Structure 1
């Protein structure tokens, strides 16, 4: 098995993924997509930015949209367990020779900004402004009824190296795809919060953000979103699905925002809290690994992703042919 053994007592304690910040080229167009169509709730907006949360979230935001000259993914955020973990995280990244900086962030407490060894911009915090619950304010539910942010998926030029590093951080692998000829990882799914994944890595030119995913109540919410998008000018933004993944068992839909940032709508994966849960292996030649049922993924799904701000791209080290729709 190519995945490393889990680190059950990591150098600092990551609770879960928290938020993503996107650079967008037209803030009004992005607002129409994320608020009026997907149904995320605005927690703050001004002329340069919009902060959003999903219906079950008590933290101030899970997405920040900022007006930018070029579309990009600016940072991925993670919540830590307690204040001492921030100092331990600083020592860990500094010890790896990676940049560390304490920054001021709106609506957040002390925040550590760094990068992983591959160039993915990361930030860690403990405290974010807490907002009143809205999960029972059903009049606010619209669009796909997003409940919470679920995971990030990233293109990685060396998936084995990415998995090794994030294993050090305490992420545990739940499922992985292995190339039978080389024994190398094509993709891997890793978690902290007890679902199938908080982060995933897919073979490709990287680092790039493949998608951000949101958990929804049930598959019917996805059908409702498809009806809405197809009649409000967004039918061309539907990229893949609906369908069901073999890996994760999730019912899924992939859509693109006005700048091309990919969003997955996601439901029905499974619990992974046991620390001795064995990872599930999939062969790259198994056609049901990515699509248990439904149309195969289009070429764009394998080739296109959001650039991380200031990250240097590296071509994939693994040449293998996935299944691509005609």
Structure 2
């Protein structure tokens, strides 16, 4: 089996994913989409940056939109268990020949900036400004009613290498897809917080950000968002779904923001917190892998993604043929 055994005592403790910084061309257009339409709450804004959080989150931000010339992903952010874990992480990355330095970031405490071995820009923090709870301020709920950021999915040119690295720092595999002869990983879903994934990897030109996902209360919220987007000028931004994944069992919808960044709206996956949870294997050509109901994904889902800033991409390490909608 191509999935490594989990590392239950990693060199430092990651709690969960927390935030992503995305470059956008027009902050006003992005605000209209991410806040007014999706329903994220604006926590701070300036001429160059827009900070937002979802309804259950106490930390200052889960999304940072930064005005820029091209739509890129600047960094993926993760929370660690303690300040000491930041020092342990700094030592780990430097010991493995990867750049690591502490930086100053607004609304965050000490922040470690680094990259994974394939080039994905990462940052780790422990403390962030706390905001008052709003999860029972129901007058604020709008759009799809996003409760929390749920996961990242990245294109990887070598999913085996990505899984090996994140496994080494304590991420545990919940589900995975193998190539046609079963010798290589085509995709994998890995978690820290006890859901199906905080971080996932999809075979393709990489590294690139495939999507960022938000957890919502029910599938009906997704239907409401579709009605809203279809009648407020965003029908062309609907890419795939709604549907139910075979992998994760989650109900989903994929949409694109005004700059093409892909967003998944997501609910109803399952608990994976047990340390001896056994990962589920899927075959690449299983029609229920992508969607339990059998509907294949469009070609754009396999080919289009957001570049990481200043990170060159590579062709995938092997060729594979997933089922693609015609």
TM band (smaller chain): over 0.9
Partner Cα separation in structure 1 for residue 228 and residue 285 of structure 2: 36
Unpaired segments of 5 or more residues in structure 1? none
* Structure 1 residue aligned with 2:61: 61
**Within 5 A, what are the aligned runs for 1:155-234?**
155-234=155-234
* Structure 2 residue aligned with 1:10: 10
2:78 is paired with a residue whose SS is strand
Partner Cα separation in structure 2 for residue 67 and residue 294 of structure 1: 39
- Taking only aligned residues, the RMSD between alpha carbons, in angstroms, comes to 0.7
Q: 1:146-197 deviations in whole A, cap 9, x for unaligned?
A: 0000000000000000000000010000000011315101100000000000
Correspondence 1:91 to 2:129: no
Q: Is the 8 A contact 1:78 1:123 kept in 2?
A: yes
Runs of 4+ in 1 over 6 A off after TM superposition: none
Partner Cα separation in structure 2 for residue 20 and residue 181 of structure 1: 35
Deviation of residue 294 (structure 1)? 5.9
Q: How many residues align?
A: 326
Q: Is the 8 A contact 1:244 1:294 kept in 2?
A: no
**Within 5 A, what are the aligned runs for 1:136-151?**
136-151=136-151
Q: Is the 8 A contact 1:243 1:294 kept in 2?
A: no
**Within 5 A, what are the aligned runs for 1:1-326?**
1-293=1-293, 295-326=295-326
Partner Cα separation in structure 2 for residue 323 and residue 309 of structure 1: 30
Further displaced range: 294-303 or 7-16: 294-303
Partner Cα separation in structure 2 for residue 190 and residue 102 of structure 1: 26
Partner Cα separation in structure 1 for residue 295 and residue 280 of structure 2: 23
Q: Is the 8 A contact 1:155 1:207 kept in 2?
A: yes
Partner Cα separation in structure 2 for residue 56 and residue 182 of structure 1: 40
Partner Cα separation in structure 2 for residue 96 and residue 88 of structure 1: 12
